[in-house]
Amino acid sequence: MSGVDIADSAMAAPPNVPISDVSQAQGKPAFVAPRTYLDQTRPVVPPTPLSAVDREQMEGLRTIRAFLKVRTSYDVLPLSFRLIVFDTSLLVKKSLNILIQNGIVSAPLWDSKTSTFAGLLTTSDYINVIQYYWQNPDALARVDQFRLNSLRDIEKALGVTPIETVSIHPERPLYEACRKMLESRARRIPLVDIDDETHRTMVVSVITQYRILKFITVNIKETQKLRKPLRDLPHVGTYSDLASAFMDTPVMDVIHMLVQKNISSVPILDKDKTVINVFEAVDVITLIKGGVYDDLNLSVGEALLKRSDDFPGIYTCSMQDQLSTIYDTIRKSRVHRFIIIDEDSRLKGVLTLSDILEYTLLEGEADE
């Protein structure tokens, strides 16, 4: 804080005197050296001392960051796991069915012609296909034959910014993986290594924001120190300009909201603004299952009926909740985001996993 104060005071002009007139008003030469300004510093206001809760919160954050710096992405992986990789020559419609059958929402791509990792397939790719179809409904026969290697052409045809294909070596510090995710806005990051024998790239696994946050809360008891309620953390989460819709909103309007705002969920409200559901980007996968695009004409309410029965439900929290409680919930359940509501269940904001990760990594970091 003191650095900011000095900079502020160096620029400070006496009240009602335009900056350019400062020197003349005080009988000094017309040209001004930086030192002239420094001589006029107003008394430096000492930074407000941190409260006990603030101090404890910062200690908690520092412990988490120190932990992330000494752990690697390998540490996050379970002892045994499966990895489903799609060949880029697979038909888009087939890839949809495989995702649904395996209960997954993304997969690394493999180009078998060059034997190289070809990026990560995510719901954004399917949303691009939907947009392409919506703009070119007569091209259904062509859309039907799209293969995963057509996805980059679809991006170009739509004029959307190509999704950045970040990756990280599994032995790099987890902190670095988190920073990469935040900088690229990627919600998951592939762990890419070099095969010792073939010397070719090899995808080891993919880690998500959820896995990282869960790893933190399972291993670090200091998440309990994050006791400040959300109402005292106004920059954590989004509270204004919220995208929301009603049950009778056409589902395509909601898909357009996801694209325009680059978000992955839209709360669905009742007429009195009570939160009754959430449309998620992953819901588009069931909507175009088998490469049938007719369901895009449905309303959100009708589209949500197509969800599988094992949908885990939506998670809400209030402005009184602390990040320690949020971390507890992440430890116990597979949460995708928290919808922030008031005592009447009306929408107040959205707290996503990237909001939590960003705060955990970056809050006060510049001062450290």
Site for ligand ATP in 183-202 (CB under 6 A): 187
Q: Which is nearer to ligand ATP, 16 or 260 (CB)?
A: 260
Q: Which is nearer to ligand ATP, 71 or 336 (CB)?
A: 336
Nearest by Cα to 229 from 138, 357, 320: 320
Distances (CA, A) of 148 to 22, 90, 200, 204, 282: 64, 6, 21, 20, 18
| Binding of residue 348 to ligand ATP (CB under 6 A) | no
Instruction: Please select the residue that binds ligand ATP; options are 131, 209, 217, 316, rule is CB under 6 A.
Output: 209
Q: Which is nearer to ligand ATP, 73 or 352 (CB)?
A: 352
How far out from the chain centre does Cα 107 lie? 18
| Binding of residue 245 to ligand ATP (CB under 6 A) | no
Q: How many residues does the chain have?
A: 368
| Binding of residue 242 to ligand ATP (CB under 6 A) | yes
| Binding of residue 122 to ligand ATP (CB under 6 A) | no
| Binding of residue 337 to ligand ATP (CB under 6 A) | yes
Cβ atoms of 361 and 65 closer than 8 Å: yes
Nearest by Cα to 55 from 232, 230, 225: 225
DSSP state, 346?
B
Site for ligand ATP in 311-330 (CB under 6 A): none
Stretch that binds ligand ATP, among 12-20, 77-85, 237-245, 325-333 (CB under 6 A): 237-245
Instruction: Please select the residue that binds ligand ATP; options are 60, 108, 190, 237, rule is CB under 6 A.
Output: 237
List the alpha helices (DSSP H) in the chain.
Answer: 2-11, 22-25, 34-39, 52-70, 73-76, 92-102, 123-135, 140-144, 151-158, 174-184, 209-219, 251-261, 283-287, 300-304, 323-332, 353-362
Cβ atoms of 345 and 275 closer than 8 Å: yes
- String of contacts with ligand ATP for each residue 247-266, x by CB under 6 A: --------------x-xxxx
Residue 81's contacts (CB-CB under 8 Å, 6 or more residues apart) are 205
Q: Which is nearer to ligand ATP, 16 or 161 (CB)?
A: 161
Q: Which is nearer to ligand ATP, 156 or 185 (CB)?
A: 185
Distances (CA, A) of 137 to 60, 123, 140, 288: 53, 20, 6, 14
CB of 238 to ligand ATP, least distance (A): 3
Q: Cα–Cα distance between 206 and 362 in angstroms, integer?
A: 23
Stretch that binds ligand ATP, among 68-76, 86-94, 157-165, 238-246 (CB under 6 A): 238-246
Q: Cα–Cα distance between 228 and 10 in angstroms, integer?
A: 34
Q: Cα–Cα distance between 244 and 265 in angstroms, integer?
A: 9
Strand order of the sheet with strand 265-269? Answer: 245-246, 265-269, 275-280
Q: Which is nearer to ligand ATP, 23 or 208 (CB)?
A: 208
Q: Which is nearer to ligand ATP, 22 or 233 (CB)?
A: 233
Q: Which is nearer to ligand ATP, 135 or 184 (CB)?
A: 184
Instruction: Please select the residue that binds ligand ATP; options are 175, 353, 359, 361, rule is CB under 6 A.
Output: 353
Residues that bind ligand ATP (rule: CB under 6 A) add up to a total of 19
Helix-, strand-, coil-residue percentages of the chain, each rounded to 5: 45, 20, 35
Q: Which is nearer to ligand ATP, 105 or 151 (CB)?
A: 105
Instruction: Please select the residue that binds ligand ATP; options are 348, 352, 360, 361, rule is CB under 6 A.
Output: 352
Residues that bind ligand ATP (CB under 6 A): 187, 209, 237-238, 242-243, 261, 263-267, 336-337, 350, 352-355
